[in-house]
């Protein structure tokens, strides 16, 4: 049907309007698209360029090398060794199980290591490198490098791992490092990003943990280019790390080794201090352990063997062990009474073998008594009754005040784990700690270093150094940090009359050299280096009246863990004191028999700087001492070479 001219005109108008509308819509869309393209290409070009860079460039942390720890002579006692390893970045691997299977065909990875790595993968972000195996041989690294094209996301790497070349000698002082644990991270408010790196090592005990911030250093960074498969193509830039600071300890590795070997087969501790500077020259705790076992994570079997050992090798007896000081405490009792003027320098006290007080008898170690004793003789023969009387007159509070002045009951500020404060009881202490009043009879127990009195070998060594010098000697462990010496504070004089101190020093000389001295068998006979000391025996069990009546059971007839502790403190040379020592032999049975002989030998090594000559010993002991040193020389003993240091 033909349209009329009018209908044709109307239809043409409708088509034109639709075309205009559609054209306008198309034009508007093209305009919006053009504007968006301009915005993306010009305005937001930098943002998209950055996103592209991030897709092909990774920024990784470079762990710093840990500071080296040296002894006072520059011998490395904690250093770093190269550690070849293989790492996996999960986000760069299509199939983790398949990739690990390929690696295991090239490198031996035991099940324990693999389990640890998989555990780390589940906890870490996919871009964090995870160590599959470390301590690899160079041949393993070369094998991985050859097969690199078939192992996307798998990279051989080299890092540093902590080693302790002197093994057990410094385990309780230096401590050890280990991988960062979840517990470590939970204890920090703002953990260093370094700590997020799997297998990164931090200090766990000892100097390693107490001076972690100085030893760790600061991380560096590197920007690397990777391809679509995640393989590293090249390194674009690098900011080097700042190495940790080197530390130099005051410890003498030779003396430390001798002390450890001399105390072997005992549960014992010894501390040697330089009286002039306060430098700690040896801090032995026996038996010890190999800290290298802990660096990569100790096995359950090895840890249980250490934990369950009767002699507690993980326990630092030198600073952590607290013991009743026994008769080594008697210098404190005598000095307190003499300073207070409640007993005269030549005044005597009669010892019938006991002292009656408060309706009970306080016995002397010598059942028949010592007779009339002045301070000098009472110290030489270790008469308990004299010191009962002295303490009863001076009172426990004035005795406690003097003890604190001599370093007992004080936590010395050293970068070591678990340093103990000890206990010096007083009326105030008992009221605060136990909510009880002081019993006067407790003063008598305190007088002979029993009751509530507890001290560590470190505290007893400081006490002895202060008696020998008359000054408030402060112990020091860090000799220098990165070559800068730590200051040695001048020790102020003690508030004790020098004449009274001289009486204590002479009494200690008589202990080691007098005809009735309790440590006479452990004397030094070499001219000019005579030793002054004091033995101590501390009870670890109660002796009943019935046992005392029938005769006290000898230590060698008791089980090991029920025997008395043996203690000894000393300084030498007597005329010009240079070194002081304190020794504890747990359940050794007696100070004169168990603790004095090794203390004398260790002190002689400090004085001579080497194995002591036989001429320093009493003639009747020389053959035995010679045989002992020959036997000691057969034990495993590391002889490190001195290395240059930054210290």
Active site amino acids: 327
The verdict on whether omega for the bond into residue 140 sits within 30 degrees of 0, i.e. cis, is no
Q: What are phi and psi of 101, to 5 degrees?
A: -60, -40
Residue pair 61/221 in contact by the 8 Å Cβ criterion: yes
Longest dimension (CA), the chain: 155
For helices 457-469 and 330-340, the axis angle rounded to 10 degrees is 40
How far apart (Å, rounded) are the C-alpha atoms in residues 39 and 481? 57
How far apart (Å, rounded) are the C-alpha atoms in residues 525 and 532? 12
| Unique residue bearing structure tokens 């000890």 | 422
How far apart (Å, rounded) are the C-alpha atoms in residues 606 and 282? 9
Give the C-alpha distances (Å, rounded to integers) separating 409 from 99, 197, 322, 402, 432. 60, 42, 11, 11, 15
How far the first Cα of the chain sits from its last, in Å, is 112
Give the C-alpha distances (Å, rounded to integers) separating 132 from 152, 153, 202, 360. 14, 12, 20, 70
How far apart (Å, rounded) are the C-alpha atoms in residues 644 and 248? 12
User: Which residues, in sequence order, are CB contacts of 572 under 8 Å at separation 6+?
Assistant: 524, 529, 530, 531, 532, 578, 579, 603, 607
For helices 330-340 and 498-513, the axis angle rounded to 10 degrees is 150
Alpha helices of 452-497 — where are they, by DSSP H? 457-469
Dihedral sign, Cα of residue 147, residue 149, residue 154, residue 158:
positive
Beta strands in 422-505 (DSSP E): 478-481, 484-485
User: Which residues, in sequence order, are CB contacts of 424 under 8 Å at separation 6+?
Assistant: 400, 403, 404, 408, 409, 453
How far apart (Å, rounded) are the C-alpha atoms in residues 319 and 422? 10
């Amino acid at each position: 049907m033909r349209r009329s001219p009018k209908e044709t005109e109307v239809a043409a108008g409708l088509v034109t309007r639709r075309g205009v509308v559609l054209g306008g819509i198309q034009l508007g869309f093209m305009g919006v698209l053009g504007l968006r393209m301009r915005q993306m290409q010009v305005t937001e070009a930098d943002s998209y360029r950055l996103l592209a860079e991030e897709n092909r460039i990774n920024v990784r942390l470079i762990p710093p090398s840990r500071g080296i720890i040296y002894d006072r002579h520059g011998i490395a006692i904690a250093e770093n060794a190269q550690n070849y390893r293989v790492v996996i970045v999960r986000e760069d691997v299509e199939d983790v199980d398949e990739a690990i299977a390929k690696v295991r065909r090239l490198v031996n990875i035991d099940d324990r290591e693999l389990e640890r790595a998989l555990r780390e993968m589940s906890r870490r972000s996919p871009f964090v490198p995870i160590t599959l195996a470390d301590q690899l041989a160079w041949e393993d690294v070369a094998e991985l490098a050859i097969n690199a094209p078939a192992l996307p996301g798998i990279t051989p790497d080299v890092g540093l791992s902590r080693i302790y070349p002197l093994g057990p000698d410094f385990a309780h002082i230096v401590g050890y490092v280990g991988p960062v644990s979840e517990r470590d991270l939970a204890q920090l408010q703002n953990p260093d990003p370094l700590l997020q790196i799997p297998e990164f090592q931090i200090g766990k005990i000892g100097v390693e943990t107490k001076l972690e911030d100085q030893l760790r250093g600061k991380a560096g960074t590197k920007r690397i280019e990777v391809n679509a498969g995640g393989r590293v193509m090249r390194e674009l830039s690098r900011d080097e790390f700042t190495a940790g600071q080197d530390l130099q300890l005051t410890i003498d590795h030779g003396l430390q080794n001798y002390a450890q070997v001399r105390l072997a087969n005992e549960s014992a501790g010894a501390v040697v201090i330089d009286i002039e500077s306060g430098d700690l020259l040896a801090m032995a705790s026996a038996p010890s352990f190999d800290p290298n076992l802990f660096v990569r994570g100790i096995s359950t079997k090895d840890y249980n063997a250490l934990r369950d050992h009767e002699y507690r090798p993980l326990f630092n007896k030198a600073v952590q062990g607290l013991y009743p000081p026994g008769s080594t405490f008697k210098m404190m009792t005598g000095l307190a009474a003499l300073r207070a003027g409640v007993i005269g320098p030549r005044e005597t006290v009669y010892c019938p073998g006991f002292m009656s007080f408060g309706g009970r008898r306080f016995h002397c170690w010598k059942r028949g008594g010592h007779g009339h004793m002045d301070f000098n003789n009472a110290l030489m023969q270790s008469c308990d009754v004299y010191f009962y009387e002295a303490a009863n007159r001076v009172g426990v509070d004035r005795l406690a005040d003097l003890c604190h002045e001599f370093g007992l009951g004080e936590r010395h500020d050293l970068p070591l784990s678990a340093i103990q404060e000890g206990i010096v009881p007083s009326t105030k202490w008992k009221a605060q700690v136990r909510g009880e009043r002081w019993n006067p009879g407790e003063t008598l127990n305190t007088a002979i270093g029993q009751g509530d009195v507890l001290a560590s070998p470190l505290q007893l060594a400081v006490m002895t150094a202060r008696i020998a010098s008359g000054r408030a000697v402060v112990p020091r462990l860090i000799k220098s940090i990165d070559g800068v010496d730590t200051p040695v504070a001048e020790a102020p004089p003690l508030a004790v009359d020098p004449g009274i101190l001289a009486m204590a020093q002479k009494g200690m000389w008589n202990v080691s050299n007098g005809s009735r001295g309790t440590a006479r068998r452990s004397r030094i006979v070499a001219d000019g280096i005579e030793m002054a000391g004091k033995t101590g025996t501390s009870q670890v069990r109660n002796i009943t009246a019935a046992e005392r009546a029938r005769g006290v059971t000898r230590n060698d007839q008791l089980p090991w863990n029920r025997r008395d502790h043996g203690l000894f403190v000393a300084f030498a040379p007597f005329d010009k004191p240079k070194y002081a020592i304190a020794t504890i032999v747990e359940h050794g049975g007696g100070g004169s028999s168990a603790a004095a002989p090794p203390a004398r030998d260790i002190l002689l090594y400090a004085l001579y700087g080497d194995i002591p000559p036989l001429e320093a010993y009493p003639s009747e002991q020389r053959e035995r001492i010679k045989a002992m040193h020959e036997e000691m020389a057969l034990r495993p003993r590391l002889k490190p070479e001195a290395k240059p240091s930054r210290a």
